[in-house]
């Protein structure tokens, strides 16, 4: 995806966060630092999965730097909510983590039969690569509420991208008809599983470029 984006004149900045540490919960601060340290403006901020909470928090902290929010098959929180509030099924994984092992981390979801695979990835080579990249998630990250109290953040345009290949157990919140800024909501779909950056990188790149422009 990076080469496609660069070829079209866009640069990318990525915040690398290691959440599998006891007590780790201030994930949004890492992205805020990247934006501020690199003096970024007019940022199209993309949050995938749990990172929907992260980008919401970042936009609340530095709304003047953000041009557009993209929720990529992501959790979309309201003020004061946690990941568990957005997707209650996560509580089962937290309960499993706190009742066994060291009690502070949640392992990745197991691979499911096709077409769902490992986070939507079914190609054996891709599954092997993805499995090597996955790590546990801090329970505290999933329990940390977001604070979305900046009026300026509500004016930021947002787009939702939904990946349509998902087990019935994954329940997605309906997208309201209107964005917080009053404009009609914009929802796109990709016919693939959760990790679309692996399964449909070209199509996702083109869609992000369309949104950004």
| Total domains in the fold of the chain | 1
Residue 43 phi, psi dihedral angles, 5° rounding: -80, 135
pTM: 0.90
What's the start-to-end Cα distance of the chain, in Å?
17
For the CA atoms of 62, 63, 69, 72, the dihedral, rounded to the nearest 10 degrees, stands at 30
Per-residue pLDDT tens listing for the chain (213 residues): 666 666 766 666 665 555 444 444 456 667 788 888 888 999 999 999 999 999 999 999 999 999 999 999 999 999 999 999 999 999 999 998 888 767 888 999 999 999 999 999 999 999 999 999 999 999 999 999 999 999 999 999 999 999 999 999 898 999 999 999 999 999 999 999 999 999 999 999 999 999 998
CATH of residue 19? 3.40.50.1820
pLDDT digits (tens, 9 = 90+) for 69-123: 999 999 999 999 999 999 999 999 999 888 876 788 899 999 999 999 999 999 9
- What region does 194 belong to: left with phi over 0, alpha with psi -120 to 50, or beta? alpha
Which residue blocks in 8-89 are alpha helix, DSSP H?
A: 27-37, 51-61, 83-86
Range of the domain at 130: 2-212
């Amino acid at each position: 995806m990076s080469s496609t984006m660069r070829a079209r004149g866009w640069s990318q900045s990525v915040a690398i966060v290691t959440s599998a540490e006891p007590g780790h919960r201030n994930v949004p601060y890492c992205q805020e630092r990247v934006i501020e340290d690199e003096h970024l403006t007019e940022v199209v901020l993309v949050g995938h999965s749990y990172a929907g909470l992260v980008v919401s928090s970042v936009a609340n902290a530095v709304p003047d730097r953000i041009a557009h929010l993209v929720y990529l098959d992501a959790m979309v929180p309201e003020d004061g909510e946690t990941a568990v509030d957005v997707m209650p099924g996560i509580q089962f994984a937290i309960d499993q983590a706190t009742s066994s092992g060291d009690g502070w981390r949640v392992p990745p979801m197991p691979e499911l039969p096709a077409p769902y695979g490992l986070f939507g990835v079914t190609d054996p080579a891709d599954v092997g690569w993805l499995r090597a990249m996955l790590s546990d998630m801090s329970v505290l990250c999933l329990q940390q509420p977001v604070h979305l109290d900046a009026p300026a953040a509500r004016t930021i345009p947002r787009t939702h991208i939904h990946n349509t290949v998902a087990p019935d157990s994954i329940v997605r919140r309906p997208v309201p008809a209107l964005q917080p800024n009053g404009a009609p909501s914009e929802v796109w779909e990709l016919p693939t599983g959760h990790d679309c950056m692996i399964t449909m990188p070209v199509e996702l790149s083109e869609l992000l470029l369309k949104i950004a422009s």
